[in-house]
């Protein structure tokens, strides 16, 4: 199974240095690419890899043009593909290559899926085996539900979405009023979930329905596996969240944000557009300005961590002792002057 | 689809100021309620919202009676509903309203569910599509298993529980004995899971079976999505846990506790009744007294975090330097006196 | 249902003090064992429990031989079973006992499972109800897929594995290239997942397929519930990860590591063999040496936490003040000498 470069360059653009008839047999990372493989150089800081790679073809940015074309370990037949955004072009190549590895998902509803008669599934959508699509739900054109996905009543998924196995869209939000005796009264969750176009949702991720209005996921949002989205949350377009991130109820996340793995956003907060939250960080206050934010205890060997952790619990006393020292020193200096 | 207030007030109690024949067309938060909506005022600190809300009816506590009845932007036909616990009454209203949005779950076993012949399902329970109920499991009266729930062998779920899609009750606990060569010998998990009445379990949450005895979830417990409950854990009545919380094996959580999102309780610990653990906090020691507990690194912009994190790893050295300064200063003061 | 000790001792070895015909009616922890129960003493530090236990038989190490044989509250008919590794022997006993509690899983494919015609399932494997096994997947001898497991295209699971309900093996890894306008281009995930022999995977855990090559889980690995394994990750043999742990893409975890509950390993890092990461710790740099590592904010009552957290954000300023004090004190001392 080989592929000439010609069709790819014609489809995706850029300049090819070398033969367009070169046969490509695989895609690989630059450091492990073999002599019939295509790879890419993502960043000039990895330029040294050009000296060692044996790849048949490397996708590079214009400023790497000469270095790439002259790479010493290239096979006799080789090529260099110059584009503005090598990583983006490589992503597009993976899409052209994918049908060789896995066939396109066939449109239609798998016979084992349970789709309510009052759900609306676009004929071009794919509903995988053992999915459940409840009454009033709507699945957009070209959207793929992989195996064992649940879409609850009245929830709407846009076009061209990819929903991975085990996802639950539209379970009840976590809403209870205290009865006053320690027990809880259920607040029925009367809203639904609305998911825009081109959204991808990772395996076993959960998106709860809203309490009174809808939970809303903007277009182009990417959620990794095991992410939790609480009721009434709004996620702006093209925001990406890594695995095990959690967003509590009624939080409003801006567009183009990046939320790291295991990060937690508390309820009712707002994050501006273009906010980056690093992994394992808990967002405890609204963030009004774009930027990168972190809050995670640095890892250490356990013995050192224990010493620091004990001291940390007395940190405000240390501060008081420093203040006392400053005052005492001023007095002492006054006395000695 | 409208609703006169009369039936609600008769069912739920309290005093209605205004016409009981007022038609309600929706439920809404007070800040966005329109002129045919019912809303509630949860707390006196939000009293300013009474001045702006356009809602047809507001549920308020007795101390807000006059302010609510005189709200300036109310429509011509309006009412004020005075009750002791507005949030609780509103929760009850959502339950009365819900059948207009979603029909009651029908009792019975969906034909696509796989229910073992030796499982016992109460005739009033609902087993949703593609659920699996294994041998010896028991499902109580009025309990609802939403789509794609697994209830393992011999596990017992009480009455009036709500179990959301993707939940796994009764997978094996995580128990292995070291063989001594680095590999692990499985400890068979011989217990089951016992869940009390009126428990709600969020989507994709997991509750493991006990190793020798049972894992026990008390009555009225509320678990959010993606919560992990390890083997042998005991959770006291009416305790609530938010999304992504995890309780390790053999921990014993008291009654009426609240465990925040992403919090972790380590194994074999005990938490007293009425303990509140804030989000993202790791409980590393037993907690004997009611109260609110926290342990989370404060979020900061990344550059400041980096500076503080570096210093944090030397915190016990800072403490030593402060001590040295204190001693040196005493000596200096001694010298100058 | 009783069991004489004779068969167990013959099967598992060790020395029995007392009658091999003693009847055992249950397995229990030493502190709650009743007079027909078998229990074990895991560690000499719990030796005091020998004085109080009423168990019929206790499994002990050789150094506890006399104390165990002379335990005062043993029933008239009792025994002591001396082995090198009591916890390991007890684990093996649970395996001999288990068929009394739960029947062996029957080999074969449950009729409700959806297994692609081009998947290869060993005849001795068990595929539980409502599982999905996609095209090209392979399931090894004696492996058990519990209810509602997904094994994606071309993914391979070795022999004697146990995969719990809700697991998703082979969803797409989280890979997207920025288009430059804030939106994301999907990188097709062309690899698969390869899982070795004797692996156990907990409920609702997710293991993503690799981007270009495979995600690899070594033999004997044990993953608890709700664990996330990103694309291209390699996990060495016999490593164990507790619930809610997450490993980001392309990380390489050594053999015989232990990753605590809720811990996070960031992408592209390497962990040496025999590394222990404590619960809730985020691994932000590669770890080259075996040992125990921690990074978690210590829990405190909320009021104290707030005081310390405020100070923590100014920690590097405290360090600067200490440095200033040290210099000032040197000057003062210089002045007074």
Cβ–Cβ contact B224 with C under 8 A: no
Catalytic-labelled residue, pool B146, B164, B231, B238: B231
Nearest to A138 by CA among A106, A163, A115: A115
Given a contact cutoff of 8 angstroms between Cβ atoms, the answer to whether A221 and A160 are in contact is no
Can you state the angle between helices A315-336 and C302-312, rounded to 10 degrees? 50
Q: Is C255 helix (H, G, I), strand (E, B) or coil?
A: coil
Nearest neighbour of A182 by CB, restricted to B27, B256, B333: B256
Rounded to two decimals, what is the model's pTM?
A: 0.97
**Chain-chain contact of A148 with C132 (C-beta, under 8 angstroms):** yes
Assign B199 to helix, strand or coil.
coil
Q: Name the helix (H) or strand (E) containing C313.
A: none
Chain A neighbors (3+ CB pairs < 8 Å): B, C
Confidence of residue B336 (pLDDT cuts 50, 70, 90): low
Nearest CA in chain C to A30: C212
Q: Give yes or no for a contact between B34 and B46, defined as CB atoms under 8 angstroms apart.
A: no
| Look-up of token digits 């619990």 | A313
Over 60: is that where the pLDDT of C1 sits?
Answer: no
Catalytic, C289? Answer no
pLDDT class of C210 with cuts at 50, 70, 90: very high
Alpha-carbon distance A195 to nearest alpha carbon in chain C (angstroms): 16
Sequential DSSP letters for B91-115: HHHHHHHHHHHSPPPPPEE-TT-EE
Is the Cβ pair A244, C246 closer than 8 Å? yes
Structure-token pair, residue B303:
């550059």
A291 and B302 within 8 Å at the Cβ level: the answer is yes
Distance, in Å, from the CA atom of B263 to the CA atom of B257, rounded to the nearest integer, reads 13
Place of tokens 């270009």: C212
Q: What is the band of B1 on the pLDDT scale with cuts at 50, 70, 90?
A: low
Distance CA A192, CA A213 (A): 7
pLDDT tens for C126-136 read: 999 999 999 99
pLDDT of B332 reads: 81
List the 193-212 stretch of A: residues with Cβ below 8 A of C.
Answer: 198, 200, 202-204
Model confidence at C330, pLDDT cuts 50, 70, 90, reads confident
Cα-Cα-Cα-Cα dihedral of B228, B231, B234, B235, to 10°? 10
Find the residue in A nearest to C292 (Cα): A302
> Which of A68-82, A322-336, B62-76, B251-265: highest mean pLDDT?
B251-265
The pLDDT score that the predictor gives to residue A42 is 83
The beta-carbon neighbor of A293 closest among B91, B103, B302 is B302
CA A6/CA A8 separation, integer angstroms: 5
Cα separation, A157 vs A133, in Å, equals: 11
Are A71 and A46 a contacting pair, CB within 8 Å? no
pLDDT at residue A3, as a whole number? 74
Question: Taking CB atoms and an 8 Å limit, are A150 and B162 in contact across chains?
Answer: no
Listed residue (B217, C262, C24) closest to A244, CA to CA: C262
Using a CB-CB cut-off of 8 Å, the residues of chain A touching C206 are 166, 202-204, 225-226, 243
Contact B202, B223 (CB under 8 A): yes
Distance (Å, whole) CA B193 – CA C107: 25
Instruction: Flag whether residue A287 sits within 8 Å of chain C, measured between CB atoms.
Output: no
- Whether B335 has a pLDDT exceeding 80, the answer reads no
Do C273 and C288 contact (CB within 8 A), yes or no? no
Query: Would you tell me which residues 307-336 of chain A have a C-beta closer than 8 angstroms to some C-beta of chain B?
Result: 307-308, 310-312, 314-315, 318, 321-322, 325, 328-329, 332, 335-336
Q: How far apart are CA B3 and CA A239, in angstroms?
A: 40
Judge whether residue C202 has pLDDT over 80. yes
Q: In the predicted model, what is the mean pLDDT of chain B? A: 95
Helices vs strands, H then E, count in chain C: 6, 37
The single residue listed with the structure tokens 């969240």 is: A241
- Asked if B183 contacts B237 with a C-beta cutoff of 8 angstroms, the reply is no
Q: How do C240-241 and C222-223 pair as beta strands?
A: parallel
- The nearest alpha carbon in chain C to A263 belongs to C264
Subunit contact B244:A246, Cβ cutoff 8 A: yes
Reported as a pLDDT band with limits 50, 70 and 90, residue B104 is confident
Cα separation, B158 vs A318, in Å, equals 52
Residue A63: Cβ within 10 Å count: 11
So what's the pLDDT on residue C335? Answer: 66
Cβ within 8 Å, pair C168-A325: no
Do C232 and C215 form a contact (C-beta atoms < 8 A)?
yes
Of B153, B206, B325, the CB nearest to C203: B206
The pLDDT value given to residue A1 = 55
pLDDT in tens, B115-174: 999 999 999 999 999 999 999 999 999 999 999 999 999 999 999 999 999 999 999 999
Alpha-carbon distance A112 to nearest alpha carbon in chain C (angstroms): 8
CA distances from C23 to C18, C58, C96 (A): 12, 13, 15
Chains interfacing with B (3 or more CB pairs < 8 Å)? A, C
Average pLDDT value for residue range B321-326: 92
pLDDT tens for each residue of C86-107:
999 999 999 999 999 988 888 9
- For chain C, say whether A147 makes contact (Cβ under 8 Å): yes
Q: Do B148 and A152 touch (CB under 8 A)?
A: no
CA of B164: which chain A residue's CA is closest? A171
**Contact between A230 and A248 (Cβ < 8 Å):** yes
> Where residue B334 falls among pLDDT bands split at 50, 70, 90?
confident
Q: Given an 8 Å threshold on Cβ–Cβ distance, is C248 in contact with A243? A: yes
**B122: number of CA atoms within 13 Å, CB side?**
18
Q: Which of A27, A92, A242 is opposite residue C174, by nearest beta carbon?
A: A242
> Least CB-CB distance to A166: which of C134, C150, C281?
C150
All residues of chain A having their beta carbon less than 8 Å from the beta carbon of residue C311 are 315-316, 318-319
Q: How far is CA C308 from the centre of its chain?
A: 34
Out of C146, C164, C231, C238, which one is annotated catalytic?
A: C231
Tell me whether residues C301 and B281 touch, CB distance under 8 A.
Answer: no
User: Does C306 sit within 8 Å of B174, measured CB to CB?
Assistant: no
- Please state, in angstroms and rounded to a whole number, the distance separating the CA atoms of residues B14 and A71: 83
Summarize pLDDT for A75-125 with one digit per residue, the tens. Answer: 988 999 999 999 999 999 999 999 999 888 889 999 999 999 999 999 999
List subunits contacting chain C, requiring 3 or more Cβ pairs under 8 Å. Answer: A, B
The span from the CA of B109 to the CA of B145, in Å, is: 10
End-to-end C-alpha distance for chain A, whole angstroms: 88
Write out the two tokens for A287: 């963030």
pLDDT at C81 over 60: yes
C-contacting residues in B 226-255 (Cβ below 8 Å) = 226, 228, 230, 244, 246, 248
> Which residue, C191, C174, C189, C185, is CA-closest to A91?
C185
Catalytic positions of A are 231
**Is C148 close to A148, i.e. CB distance below 8 A?**
yes
User: Distance between the two ends of chain C, CA-based, in angstroms?
Assistant: 88
| Residue-level pLDDT at C336 | 58
pLDDT per position in chain A (337 positions), as tens? 567 898 899 999 999 999 888 889 999 999 999 999 999 998 888 889 999 999 999 999 999 999 999 999 999 889 999 999 999 999 999 999 999 998 888 899 999 999 999 999 999 999 999 999 999 999 999 999 999 999 999 999 999 999 999 999 999 999 999 999 999 999 999 999 999 999 999 999 999 999 999 999 999 999 999 999 999 999 999 999 999 999 999 999 999 999 999 999 999 999 999 999 999 999 999 999 999 999 999 999 999 999 999 999 889 899 999 999 999 988 887 765 5
Rounded Cα distance between C44 and B309, Å, is: 40
pLDDT digits (tens, 9 = 90+) for B31-59: 999 999 999 998 888 889 999 999 999 99
């Amino acid at each position: 199974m080989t592929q000439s470069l010609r069709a790819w360059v014609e489809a995706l653009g850029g300049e090819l240095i070398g033969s367009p008839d070169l046969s490509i047999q695989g895609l690989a990372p630059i450091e492990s690419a073999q002599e019939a493989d295509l790879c890419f150089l993502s960043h000039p800081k990895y330029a040294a890899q050009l000296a060692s790679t044996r790849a048949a073809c490397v996708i590079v940015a214009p400023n790497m043009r000469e270095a790439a074309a002259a790479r010493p370990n290239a096979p006799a037949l080789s090529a260099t593909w110059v584009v503005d955004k090598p990583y983006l072009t490589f992503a597009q190549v993976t899409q052209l290559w994918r049908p060789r590895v896995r066939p396109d998902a066939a449109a239609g509803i798998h016979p084992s899926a349970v789709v309510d008669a009052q759900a609306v599934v676009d004929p071009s959508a794919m509903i995988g085996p053992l999915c459940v699509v409840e009454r009033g739900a709507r699945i957009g054109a070209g959207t793929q539900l992989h195996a064992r996905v649940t879409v609850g009543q009245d929830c709407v998924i846009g076009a061209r979405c990819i929903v991975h196995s085990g996802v639950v869209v539209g379970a009840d939000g976590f809403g209870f009023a205290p009865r006053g005796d320690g027990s809880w009264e259920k607040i029925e969750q009367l809203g639904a979930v609305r998911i825009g176009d081109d959204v991808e949702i990772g395996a076993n991720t959960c998106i709860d329905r809203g309490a009174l209005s809808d939970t809303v996921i903007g277009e182009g949002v990417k959620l990794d596996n095991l992410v939790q989205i609480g009721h009434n949350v709004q996620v702006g377009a093209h925001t990406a969240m890594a695995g095990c991130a959690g967003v509590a109820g009624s939080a409003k996340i801006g567009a183009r944000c990046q939320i790291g793995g295991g990060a937690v956003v508390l309820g009712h907060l707002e994050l501006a557009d273009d906010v980056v939250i690093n992994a394992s960080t808990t967002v405890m206050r609204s963030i009004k300005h774009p930027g990168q934010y972190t809050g995670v205890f640095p890892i250490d060997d356990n013995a050192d961590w224990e010493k620091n952790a004990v001291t940390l619990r007395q940190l405000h006393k240390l501060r008081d002792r420093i203040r006392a020292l400053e005052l005492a020193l001023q007095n002492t200096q006054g006395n000695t002057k």
